[in-house]
């Protein structure tokens, strides 16, 4: 069968760098760090006492009190990003077929803080279970997709993808496939996460996965730098409105770019560590590029997974060299996690938006906090250190890799 073309017609985001796309992109280009002391709870007994929180967030600006009380932050963030994306797409004023429009949304751990607080309250109580009737719908990872569908009366496919830090990239790939197979005209996709709480922080600390640079949080996320000591946990959401090309063209929609293709693979190696030679990472990049009908030399920019961990950054750099050969040295590479922190299940969505904006503006955002080269990472790779760079970008690749060995890559290309 002939596959449909899929384009991006709307984007929205709420991140540690801003409450909308404009703030987010301006701060990315400027190399601003979103890290700072944790305010969600008292972290004084934790090894890590900082994170990339969404700054100055007040639910009352977006929801009435009763509505906000029924939703975990990851759902609130999802609805905020989706609203911006929906308005940006122009679909608010267009009479589309609602049974051919859906929502596919990713979240790695959903309402983990709701789970934690309810269990603590029970444990500290009199032994009588007094759980909130909203406990389950606030906690489950698929609820954000449900809320978005109800708000916009989207009656097509509606579900969540859960694959740790690859969750929202898998959501985008699924949305892309629903449309190109002719089963939907529009899919609201992306991901959200709000993990900054005692359970996630303690869990990642016990794994020695988080940076403990408490004296200088803004310089803690330092992908590819020799002195990196772990990732910085973040929160927020990113939304992309994907649409069948002819459908978008017929209604005169603004089109950012085309979704070229996607790939998915497994390391089949370790529950948390990447394959040391980047086996799954190289496979998934090749799959995504081939699916897009491109060659490695057609890619100009990679927004890497680049979490600022010792094993991960090295393995990804090796995989890039395996896939791109000599062209690896012509690529621009950056890890925007150096600024946003790691949004876990929301990372793929937010970083896909970075790829879209990088192409539209022919601007590569920087990898900040790069001070000391790692002798185990090829110094000829252009990681766009510290300062944004202007260059033509024909196609961009977004990498996401999750615990359990889950890998997903998405290719975006100019029309």
Catalytic site includes residue 406: no
One digit per residue, the tens of pLDDT, for the chain of length 415 reads: 799 999 999 999 999 999 999 999 999 999 999 999 999 999 999 999 999 999 999 999 999 999 999 999 999 999 999 999 999 999 998 999 999 999 999 999 999 999 999 999 999 998 899 999 999 999 999 999 999 999 999 999 999 999 999 999 999 999 999 999 999 999 999 999 999 999 999 999 999 999 999 999 999 999 999 999 999 999 999 999 999 999 999 999 999 999 999 999 999 999 999 999 999 999 999 999 999 999 999 999 999 999 999 999 999 999 999 999 999 999 999 999 999 999 999 999 999 999 999 999 999 999 999 999 999 999 999 999 999 999 999 999 999 999 999 999 999 999 9
Q: Are residues 125 and 189 in the same domain?
A: yes
**44 and 144: one domain?**
yes
Give domain status of residue 1, yes or no: no
Residue 113 shares a structural domain with residue 195: yes
Q: Are residues 296 and 337 in the same domain?
A: yes
Whether residue 229 is found in the same domain as residue 341: no
Q: Are residues 345 and 232 in the same domain?
A: no
Same domain, 211 and 279: no
Say whether both 193 and 76 belong to one domain: yes
Q: Are residues 203 and 111 in the same domain?
A: yes
CATH number for the domain harbouring residue 347: 3.40.47.10
Decide which of 227, 250, 273 is a domain's last residue: 250
Q: Is 257 one of the catalytic residues?
A: no
Q: Which domain holds residue 217?
A: 6-250
Q: Which is the catalytic residue, given 19, 305, 355, 406?
A: 305
Residues 241 and 285 in one domain: no
| The pTM of the whole model exceeds 0.85 | yes
What span, in angstroms and rounded, lies between the C-alpha atoms of 156 and 172? 15
Residue that is last in its domain, among 250, 277, 300: 250
Whether 381 is in a domain gets the answer yes
Q: Is 342 a catalytic residue?
A: yes
Q: Which of 195, 221, 250 is the last residue of a domain?
A: 250
Q: Which of 165, 239, 257, 355 is catalytic?
A: 165
> Residue 353 is encoded by which pair of tokens?
């938006």
- 255 located within any domain: no
- Number of domains observed in the structure of the chain: 2
Based on the fold, state whether residues 207 and 272 are members of the same structural domain.
no
Options 170, 247, 342, 406, the catalytic residue? 342
């Amino acid at each position: 069968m002939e596959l449909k073309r899929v384009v991006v017609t709307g984007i929205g985001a709420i991140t540690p760098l801003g409450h909308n796309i404009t703030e987010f992109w301006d701060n990315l280009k400027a190399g601003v760090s979103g890290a700072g002391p944790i305010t969600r709870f008292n972290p004084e007994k934790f090894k890590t006492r900082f994170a990339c929180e969404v700054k100055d967030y007040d639910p009352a600006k977006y929801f009435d009190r009763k509505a906000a009380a029924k939703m975990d932050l990851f759902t609130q963030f999802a609805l905020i990003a989706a609203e911006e994306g929906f308005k940006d797409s122009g679909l608010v004023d267009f009479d589309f077929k609602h049974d051919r429009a859906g929502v596919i949304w990713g979240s790695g751990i959903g309402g983990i803080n709701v789970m934690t607080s309810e269990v603590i309250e029970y444990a500290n109580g009199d032994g009588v279970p007094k759980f909130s009737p909203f406990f389950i719908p606030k906690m489950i990872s698929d609820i954000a997709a449900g809320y978005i569908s109800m708000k916009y009366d989207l009656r097509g496919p509606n579900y969540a993808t859960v694959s740790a830090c690859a969750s929202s990239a898998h959501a985008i790939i699924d949305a892309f496939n629903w449309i190109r197979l002719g089963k939907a005209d529009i899919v609201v996709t992306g991901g959200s996460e709000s993990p900054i709480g005692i359970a996630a922080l303690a869990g990642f600390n016990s794994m020695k996965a988080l940076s403990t640079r408490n004296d200088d949080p803004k310089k803690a996320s330092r992908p590819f730098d020799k002195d990196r000591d772990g990732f910085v946990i973040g929160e927020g959401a990113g939304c992309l409105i994907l649409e069948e090309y002819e459908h978008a063209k017929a209604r005169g929609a603004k089109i950012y770019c085309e979704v070229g293709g996607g790939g998915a693979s497994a390391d089949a190696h370790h529950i948390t560590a990447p394959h040391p030679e980047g086996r799954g990472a190289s496979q998934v990049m090749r799959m995504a590029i081939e699916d897009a009908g491109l060659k490695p030399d057609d890619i100009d920019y990679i927004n890497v997974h680049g979490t600022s961990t010792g094993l991960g950054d090295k393995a990804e750099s090796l995989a890039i060299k395996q896939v791109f050969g000599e062209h690896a040295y012509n690529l621009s590479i950056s890890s925007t996690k150096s600024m946003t922190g790691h949004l876990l299940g929301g990372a793929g969505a937010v970083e896909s938006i970075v790829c879209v904006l990088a192409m539209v503006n022919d601007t590569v955002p920087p990898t900040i906090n790069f001070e000391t080269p790692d002798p185990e990472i090829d110094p000829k790779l252009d990681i766009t250190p510290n300062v944004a760079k202007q260059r033509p970008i024909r196609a961009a690749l977004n990498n996401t890799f999750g615990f359990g060995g889950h890998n997903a890559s998405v290719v975006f290309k100019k029309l």
